[in-house]
Amino acid sequence: MKIGSISEDRKLEKRVAITPEIIKKYKSLGLDVCISKDYALHLGFEDEIYEAEGAKIFKSEDEVLSNSDALLQMNIPSDEILSKLKKDQILIGVLNKYMNENKLKDISNKNVNCFSLELLPRITRAQSMDILSSQANLAGYKAVVDSFAYFQKAIPMMMTAAGTISAAKVLIVGAGVAGLQAIATAKRMGAIVYATDVRLASKEQVESLGGKFLTIEGSENLETESGYAKEASDDFKKKQEDLIKETLKKIDIVICTALIPGKKAPIIIKKEMIDIMQSGSIIYDLAASQGGNSELTKVDEIINNKGVKIMGERNILNKLPVSSSNLYAKNIFNFVSNLYDKEKNNFKINSDDEIIEKTRIK
C-alpha cells in the first residue's frame, strides 16, 4: 500500500503533510511513500533528503495520484486534483467540512473516502492526532512575538537610573490552546497578562500560567461536551462587552483567539472599544480567516484606527512552516497508523472506531 502527497498552493500554504523524518515510521508500518518533485524544497527539504529516507519522487502530480492508495494533504486540493481522485482512494487533511461541503459531498459520491482532521473528537486516544492543538500552540506563540515586534515600547518592566518603564499590559481573548500559549509566551517576556473566555474551566488554567482571569459576574459555563466554546447568550455578550470595554482602556496589546467550530468568529472587540484604546496599541486577530473577533479586522491587512493597529493574517503558520509541518506530519502519521491494518496490509474503515467515524465525511 502506498501513501502520497502533492505540493500545496504555496501562495496560500507553505506547510506540508510529510516531512523527511516521518518517512521511516511509515516504512515501519509497511507503507511506501511517494511525493511530487520539489515537494518541500521551499522548506529546505530537497528531494534527495526524502529519497535518502526511502520516499519515491515522481515528476508529476498525476503520477503521485495514480500511485497512491491514500493522499495526505494539509488543505483540500484544487478542483482539478479532486476530479482525478479514484474510487476507494483515501483523502486525509484539514478539509474544512463547513466551508467545502458541496465539494466533499461530490467526491464522497464518487466513493472516495475523505477524512477531515479538524473533526477529531477530544478523547485521550486522539490527542496525538490533534492537529488543532498542535497548530494552535504555534499560532498563539507567533501572534505574541509578531505583535510585540510592532509594539513600539519595551515589554517587561525596566528600572533604570533615568526612571522606570512600566510593563506592557496584554489581554488574551479566548483561553483555548492558542490563548494559553499566548499567555505563557507574553508572561515569559515580562508582560502583565489578562485573559477572558466563556468557559469558566479556563480560569484555573489562565491563573496557573500567571494570567489574571476576567470574570463576568453570574456567568454560566459556555462549554460543549467536546471541550469547545459555544455561542453565548445576548445577556452574557452584553456583560462581557462592558467588562472588556473598561479593561481595554489600560491594555497595550490584545491577542484575539476566540472561535466557534463551524461558525463565523464572534465579534468581541467592537469599533467603539477600539476608539478608547491608547494610541500605539496593537490588536492581533488570530480569528481573521473566520471573520475576526475585532469589528475592524481585515484579512492580511494592517488597519490603523486612531493610532491603534489591527492585524489579521489568513495563515500565521506560514511564518513557522517548518515547525508546524513537523507537528502536523506527526499528527497525520498517528491518524494513518490508526486507520491502517498492518497485518492485513490495507486501510480499514471501522465505523465502530470513534476517531474514524467522527472524521469521516459522508
Cα–Cα dist 151/301, whole Å: 16
- The catalytically annotated residue of 66, 108, 128, 133 is 133
- The catalytically annotated residue of 28, 78, 83, 127 is 127
Cα–Cα dist 354/330, whole Å: 20
C-alpha cell of residue 203: 480560569
- Cα distances from 289 to residues 230, 259, 346, in angstroms, run 19, 10, 37
127 is catalytic: yes
47 is catalytic: no
3-state secondary structure the chain: CEEEECCCCCCCCCCCCCCHHHHHHHHHHCCEEEEECCCEHHHCECHHHHHHHCCEEECCHHHHHHHCCEEEEEECCCHHHHHCCCCCCEEEEECCCCCCHHHHHHHHHCCCEEEEHHHCCCCHHHHHHCHHHHHHHHHHHHHHHHHHHHCCCCCCCEEECCEEECCCEEEEECCCHHHHHHHHHHHHCCCEEEEECCCCCHHHHHHHCCCEECCCCCCCCCECCCCCECCCCHHHHHHHHHHHHHHHCCCCEEEECCCCCCCCCCCCECHHHHHCCCCCCEEEECCHHHCCCECCCCCCEEEEECCEEEEECCCHHHHCHHHHHHHHHHHHHHHHHHHEECCCCEECCCCCCHHHHHHEEC
- The catalytically annotated residue of 47, 106, 122, 146 is 122
- The catalytically annotated residue of 7, 50, 73, 130 is 130
130 is catalytic: yes
- The catalytically annotated residue of 228, 278, 323, 353 is 228
Cα–Cα dist 362/339, whole Å: 17
Catalytic residue annotation: 122, 127, 130, 133, 228
